[in-house]
Amino acid sequence: MSEGARVLLVDVDEGPLAAVADALRARGFVVDSASSVPAACEIAREGVDAVVATRRIVEDDSSGLGLVDAMTLDTPSPPPFVIWANEWSVDSAQEIDDKLRALLPHVARAALVVRRGTLAEGAAELLRQLEGSRATGTLSIHTPRSSGEVRFVQGRIVDAVFGRIAGTKALARILSEREGATAFVPGGADVVPRMDGEVSPLLDALTAEQARVAALRRELDLPGDALVMAESGIDLLDAMSTSVTTRLRVPVTIDALLDEVPQADDVILGVVVHLARAGNLKRLGSATARGQVADVDTLAELKGLAARLRPAGFVSRPRVVFAAMHSRIGVVAQAASALADAVAPTTAAALPVPSVVAIVRLGDSVDLEVATLPLVPAYAPLWCAALAGAGVVVQLDDAAASLLDDTCRAVEVPLVPARELVANLEEPISPESFAALVRAALRYAAGV
């Protein structure tokens, strides 16, 4: 069958049946209702799988003929009955569901009815409706930003996911969405509960959290800036702060930070505000800002310089290396990946070792590798292998200066301080300043 079991609810007062009917529909049944014996018999002649009726209408009608007798005479194949002696309420739906599934095992397992809708009125109202009907099933949500699911068991939320986020945090994201489509599919799901809460208290708590998040965002006033930890010491608020400060070692926007760190948004923003007040954060400007390595007039020149940068005997791409203290590598990597026509690697080095942070495509099959070399003396034995074949090393900091100079001499790679290439280099380095540094490094290596 393409639909769930068709059930007829019958009572002399049809009004109280509405909530029970909605709750049974949420569980996958197709539900009709009637308030008299003739109306019930007319529906039953069309075909129903079961009848749930109160004792008062089953036993007798005003005409003296009860519902069971009337249906026996009026329908060619009378449906099975569930005699309901209690008052109707939303809580009745679960007991009726259990009885029907035991009575109709071959029908009740038919495909469940999907309820579709939109987020025009917001997710909160939809969640409250499912709570009120004590629904069991999965609410799927598809928005322009991402997709997610909220799973219910008897009106309680037991799990939520939105994109890569799970749990209460995912539910907070869903509540902020105002555009998208929804579909509720009744039925149990094999899921390990990540949460178990009544909808109304959860929504109240998340509404309060969203107000705190809005206030913290206003204080930070970061419409799209990337942030990175400053070099100064950090006064941690508690052990949880470690996950936030660790992620801030590499430049990241506030939105990305909130998505990647598992704690609640207001807790994360509280740590960021604390760091900002203490002067432990640097703003790197808009995360969408791009640095143009070459305009139309100089592109041909730079392609020629980059092509000449590869030493004889090496088949790798021409490479420029930027040497800096480990605490500044994240800033350099951010600026490099923000260059126009730059492609950043999918993973970052976990240790302070030399690594390629961007590949800049200059055109005509000429690609330039931009690499970083963290000036950590403990890893100095690796520098020779990393610098061999490089076109030039740009020294951003004076840390480990003698070790770096010795290594560059050993592999015969030119070393030049950044201040000699670009006067008054701004801090932190913006994509535009980094692009100027790359151009100057290529010209220096070529002797121009």
What are the pLDDT digits (tens) for 262-290?
Answer: 889 999 999 898 888 888 887 766 555 56
The mean per-residue pLDDT over the stretch 64-72 comes to 77
Residue 158 scores a pLDDT above 80: yes
End of a domain among 286, 306, 336? 286
Of all residues in the chain, the percent with pLDDT exceeding 90 is: 20
Greater confidence, 342 or 199?
199
pLDDT at position 112: 47
* Domain assignment of residue 167, yes or no: yes
pLDDT at residue number 240: 59
State residue 394's pLDDT score.
95
Q: What is the CA radius of gyration of the chain?
A: 34
Domain extent at residue 281: 221-286
pLDDT value at residue 421: 92
According to the model, what pLDDT value does residue 2 have? 34
Q: Mean pLDDT, to the nearest integer, of 337-353?
A: 75
Give residue-wise pLDDT tens across range 356-408.
888 888 877 788 889 999 999 999 998 998 898 899 999 998 888 999 999 99
Q: Which residues pair with 225 in a beta bridge?
A: 286
Counting the structural domains of the chain, the total is 4
| 424 and 302 belong to one structural domain | yes
Rounded distance, CA 226 to CA 14, Å? 61
Tell me: pLDDT of 169 over 90.
yes
Residue 106 pLDDT exceeds 70:
no
- What CATH number corresponds to the domain at position 336? 3.40.50
* Closest by CA position to 199, among listed 149, 159, 156: 156
Residue 261 sits in the same domain as residue 338: no
pLDDT: is 213 or 31 the higher one? 213
Strand 6-10 relative to strand 50-54, pairing: parallel
Q: Helix, strand, coil % (nearest 5) of the chain?
A: 40, 25, 35
In a domain, 69, yes or no: yes
Predicted local confidence at residue 286, as pLDDT:
56
Residue 87 lies in a domain: yes
Question: For the whole prediction, is pTM greater than 0.75?
Answer: no
User: Do 88 and 183 reside in the same domain of the chain?
Assistant: no
103 and 119 within one domain:
no
Determine the Cα–Cα distance for residues 422 and 399; give it in Å rounded to an integer.
Answer: 19
